[in-house]
Amino acid sequence: MAESFGSDAGRYDRARPEYPRELVDRIVAASPGSDVLDVGCGTGIEARQFRDAGCRVLGVDPDARMAAFARRGGIDVEVAKFEDWAPAGRTFDAVVAGQAWHWVDPVAGPAKAARILRPGGLLAVFAHVFQPPEAVADAFAAACRRVLPGSPFAGESRPAADIYDVMFAGFADAIAKADGLGAPDRWRFAWERTYTRDEWLDFLPTTGGLTRVPPKELAALLSEVGAAIDDLGGSFVLPYTTLAVVARKP
């Protein structure tokens, strides 16, 4: 699944949201310099944000299709899994990962980040948490049960916030155990975005559970979700929380 997102890199880059400017600015301000390694950079969404904030950014991603898209946006990318990637003596002021750290080995990842960070450097891993309106979420779950009965979405009933709280607690625990990194801190940024029907249906196929769904089944699922959004007037406001775990190399 980790390498399935590149099947439609253009849609991924178009539909996935950027990160709060406050998050980017806070990482840049807390780092000792401007050299940033972006782990799992994908199409370069956060890499471009850090570049625009004055950083020199190198991306690492295992998917050559995503890397090629990021390069077209002006981001230098090397194709590899972070655990296998060879730094070749290079060090960085910040190692960041947006929507990607759950694909990295929880022991090897923090240890490698610590090795390539300069003194005072920052490891910052972050991701968006969101829960669509109940009517939209219910329509999606019902469609998954009917069209994709084997999908994890068909049986998942926990709120997204609970799932991500557990995930980020795990990130923090693993980082705390890594040699060469200080005690992790957790940041939280709240914001919101309005989605039209078309924008939400453009976004859904970029989520991990749907990137490999056959076109016929995907169309049926999106049709049912679209009908629920039509019933809401054709759009809805989606509250986002962007979570981050941050640790500094002493």
pLDDT of residue 28: 98
What pLDDT was estimated at residue 149?
A: 84
CB atoms within 10 A of CB 145: 13
Task: For residue 247, report the phi and psi dihedrals to the nearest 5 degrees.
Answer: -140, 145
48-62, 105-119, 204-218: least confidently modelled range: 204-218
Identify the pLDDT of residue 4: 72
Amino acid 37: pLDDT: 98
Please count the CA atoms within 13 angstroms of the CA of 96 that sit on its side-chain side: 35
Angle between helices 160-177 and 108-116 (to 10 degrees): 60
Q: CA torsion, points 5, 9, 10, 15, in degrees to nearest 10?
A: 30
Q: Does residue 190 register a pLDDT over 90?
A: yes
Q: What is the mean pLDDT of residues 134-154?
A: 85
Q: Which residue has the tokens 């991500």?
A: 164
For residue range 118-128, list pLDDT tens digits in order.
999 999 999 99
**Region 220-234 average pLDDT:** 97
- Give residue 248's region: left, alpha or beta (phi > 0; psi -120 to 50): beta
Mean pLDDT of 148-160: 71
Average pLDDT, the chain: 94
pLDDT tens digit string along 58-113? 999 999 999 999 999 999 999 999 999 999 999 999 999 999 999 999 999 999 99
Fold of domain 5-132+158-194+239-248: Rossmann fold (3.40.50)
Sheet (strand 235-248) strand order = 76-79, 56-61, 35-39, 92-98, 117-130, 235-248, 185-196
**Residue ranges of domains in the chain:** 5-132+158-194+239-248
Q: What is the pLDDT of residue 39?
A: 98
Asked if 242 and 129 count as a contact pair (C-beta separation under 8 A), the reply is: yes
